[in-house]
Chain A
Amino acid sequence: MAFIPGQPVTAVVQRIEIQKLRQGDNLILGFSIGGGIDQDPGQNPFSEDKTDKGIYVTRITPGGPADAAGLMMGDKIMQVNGWDMTMVTHDQARRTLTKKKEDVVRLLVTRKSLEEAVKQSMSYPRQ
């Protein structure tokens, strides 16, 4: 998941759609994020490359909407509703995810296991 500056980022992503849950006055998604371009990337336990300043999922509330949608801990969020999440500050990411007018977020997330799965499937020769 490391990127080379100046080159387009390529990754294998999974589309996840989460319905926000209404709790009183708030719409919650049920997970926590960490990271951002204004944060210290070396302290991110989930990133492979310790210079990666992307937004990562750090915790999932069990039974929450994100858990139901299939989001997993350690996922890197690449896009939220079309908005890029690879070069945003932590606060911008939070605001993008918690827009009050939207009650569904469509995320593009990537994880290591996805890449390996694709590699494996490509190495099997088609019969």
Chain B
Amino acid sequence: MQSPTVMEVGEEVLQVLEVCETVEEIKEVIVTTIEEDTNTNAPPVASSGPGTKPSQDDNWGETTTAVTGTSEHSLSQEDIVRITKDLEDSVGLDCRRYFTLTLAVILGLLVFLTPLAFLVLPHILWPERLQSCGTACEGLFISVAFKLLILLLAVWALFFRPPRAGLPRVFVFRALLAVLVLLFVVSYWLFYGVRILDSQDENYQGIVQYAVSLVDALLFIHYLAIVLLELRQLQPCFSVCVMRSTDGETRHYNLGQLSIQRAALAILEHYYCDFSVHNPALLSASKSRAAKHLAGLKVYNVDGEFPAAPAEGPGNNAAAGLAHSQSRAMIAAAARRRDSSHNELYYEEAEHERRVRKRRARLVVAVEEAFTHIKRMQEEEQKKAPGDVMDPREAAQAIFPSMARALQKYLRTTKQQHCHSMESIQQHLAFCITNNMTPKAFLESYLTPGPTLQYSRDHWLARQWTLISEASVTSGLKDGTVFLLKCVDFSLVVTSKKIPYIQMSEEYIDPKSHKFVLRLQSETSV
């Protein structure tokens, strides 16, 4: 990056550059402006040619003019974050989904049409030599028909459900089952092709029984699919602890034997329902405290090289040692310094608590008063006085202004104002009025932060998740597995522990064996 002493007026633009280096336009504008300046302000050095480096010019810093050309293209921090988020959302991996969908459809068609093909082909290819179908054989037709119907319904119930998520790796059990079914059907076709089509067998009952056995085996494979995909993970085996990295909110869930990616999916679904919504405004206080701690001390190295080169690689031991001793010195100095920041924190928190409670009291009173202004009209009254009748939305708009200020102040104090827009508050108010809720019920969603799902989609701050794991994500959960679920603003740290094996023994107690005696035997002298 260019030296930061150049820009005074255009400092915001330079900071933007540091954040997102891919925005090319602004960079070009700055570069051209600098070069123009150095060309116009020629240094008073004898050899002033194109080879002169600008950093050696003494007058260079003072004579640079303001960079006004970039003011039309300036972006703020939030815009850039929004652009990157939109980019992530639009580029989807839809091709993989459609690929698996087509494979599944082809396999399904193959599976369903095979028994029908087995039954129909002899009639087409050698109808005159075929034995007529007797009673038992026709009974088998009914059996094939119903079993195919049951198989169709079962496959539809198990496999044709809307997909919940897109996982990074292929679902191992499903892939195995697909391969198994394919092998199975192929082997049946081979046998059929060789022994029946080639030899043109006349025993039609045998062929029908062969088709019935195929359908039976397919039903058993479907049973295997249910056990592998659905039943195996129902029994809880692991207790996972999920902690949010920013504010430490922790929950514990019980999971069965799952692969890491499926466990991550289950945890994320619980996250949206259980964890309170992530509020970055609540963390600003601790960040400012941390900044104050660091800003207190500066370390200067009087002798030797500036420790500009970071301690990279094993060969840089001297620099690493230097950095270590510096950090030790900083820690020692910080410990010795009489720091009153804990005092500040205590009083600040007490003050904040008091302020929140005061605002909350005002809010509750304002809302209760507002709710007394409207009354639900009965059916008979509706026909009599059609004058000033309002529907819920209008009623909400009518009473909203009297509580708006108190609500706004409360939300600002608890730093929730970005989670609720005016529109959403009015909608919620109309909803509460329609359903005869009390003011307390209306306020409940503002007094406590609810789960993430409750808020609208643009306040979730968590949509694209990355699974970070040391073990392969298709391997199973084990005792002590740790993985991370990262999204843009925070990450969820997940650790798993195995539920222990419980050894229970029995002891029989005869109900008549419950006998009691008095243990007192006192002696009194009279």
Q: Which A residues are closer than 8 A to B by beta carbons?
A: 28-29, 31-34, 38-40, 42-44, 58-59, 61, 90, 94, 97-98
Contact = CB atoms under 8 A, between A and B. Distances in A.
B526 A39 contact: no
A39 B521 contact: yes
B512 interface: no
A40 B520 contact: yes
B518 to A, nearest CB: 5
Contact of B526 (A33, A38, A40, A44): A33
Main secondary structure of the interface of A (DSSP, over half): mixed
Given A40-B517, A42-B517, A90 B525 contact: no
Interface in B497-526: 517-526
A50 B154 CA distance: 76
A44 B524 CA distance: 14
B521 to A, nearest CB: 4
A33 B525 CA distance: 6
B523 A58 contact: yes
A19 to B, nearest CB: 14
18 contacts: A29-B526, A31-B525, A31-B526, A32-B525, A33-B523, A34-B521, A34-B523, A38-B518, A39-B520, A39-B521, A40-B517, A40-B519, A40-B521, A42-B517, A59-B523, A61-B525, A94-B526, A97-B526
Contacts of A43: 521
Given A40-B517, A42-B517, A34 B526 contact: no
Interface residues on B, range: 10 to 19
B525 A59 contact: yes
A23 to B, nearest CB: 12
Nearest to A35: B521
A43 B526 CA distance: 20
Contacts of A58: 523
A28 B526 contact: yes
Contacts of B520: 38-40
B522 A39 contact: yes
B519 A33 contact: no
Contacts of A44: 521
Given A32-B525, A43-B521, 16 more contacts: A28-B525, A29-B526, A33-B523, A33-B524, A33-B525, A33-B526, A34-B522, A38-B518, A38-B520, A39-B518, A39-B522, A40-B517, A40-B519, A59-B525, A61-B525, A90-B524
A35 to B, nearest CB: 8
Contacts of A32: 523-526
Nearest to A37: B518
**Closest 10 pairs between A and B when the two form their complex, measured CB to CB:** A32-B525, A43-B521, A97-B526, A34-B523, A40-B518, A94-B524, A29-B526, A32-B523, A40-B521, A98-B526
Nearest to A56: B523
Contacts, number: 41
Contacts of B525: 28, 31-33, 59, 61
A44 B525 CA distance: 16
Contacts of A31: 525-526
Nearest to A36: B522
Task: Find the residue from B517, B522, B523, B526 having the highest chain A CB count within 10 A.
Answer: B526
Contacts of B521: 34, 39-40, 43-44
A34 B523 CA distance: 5
Contacts of A59: 523, 525
A74 B343 CA distance: 77
A80 to B, nearest CB: 10
Contacts of B518: 38-40
A94 B523 CA distance: 10
Nearest to B520: A39
A32 B525 CA distance: 4
Nearest to B518: A40
Contacts of B519: 40
B83 to A, nearest CB: 88
A29 B519 CA distance: 27
Contacts of A33: 523-526
Nearest to B524: A94
Nearest to B519: A40
A94 B522 CA distance: 11
Nearest to B517: A40
B524 to A, nearest CB: 5
B42 to A, nearest CB: 118
Contacts of A34: 521-524
A54 B473 CA distance: 80
Contacts of A40: 517-521
Given A40-B517, A42-B517, A90 B522 contact: yes
A59 B526 CA distance: 10
A67 B376 CA distance: 95
Nearest to A20: B526
A59 B525 CA distance: 8
Contacts of B517: 40, 42
Contacts of A97: 526
B94 to A, nearest CB: 85
Contacts of A38: 518, 520
Nearest to B522: A90
Nearest to A53: B518
B51 to A, nearest CB: 114
A43 B521 CA distance: 7
A11 B238 CA distance: 75
A100 to B, nearest CB: 12
B248 to A, nearest CB: 59
A34 B526 CA distance: 11
A44 to B, nearest CB: 8
Contacts of A39: 518, 520-522
A28 B518 CA distance: 29
A105 to B, nearest CB: 9
A120 B306 CA distance: 122
A42 B519 CA distance: 10
A31 B520 CA distance: 20
B79 to A, nearest CB: 88
Contacts of B524: 32-34, 90, 94
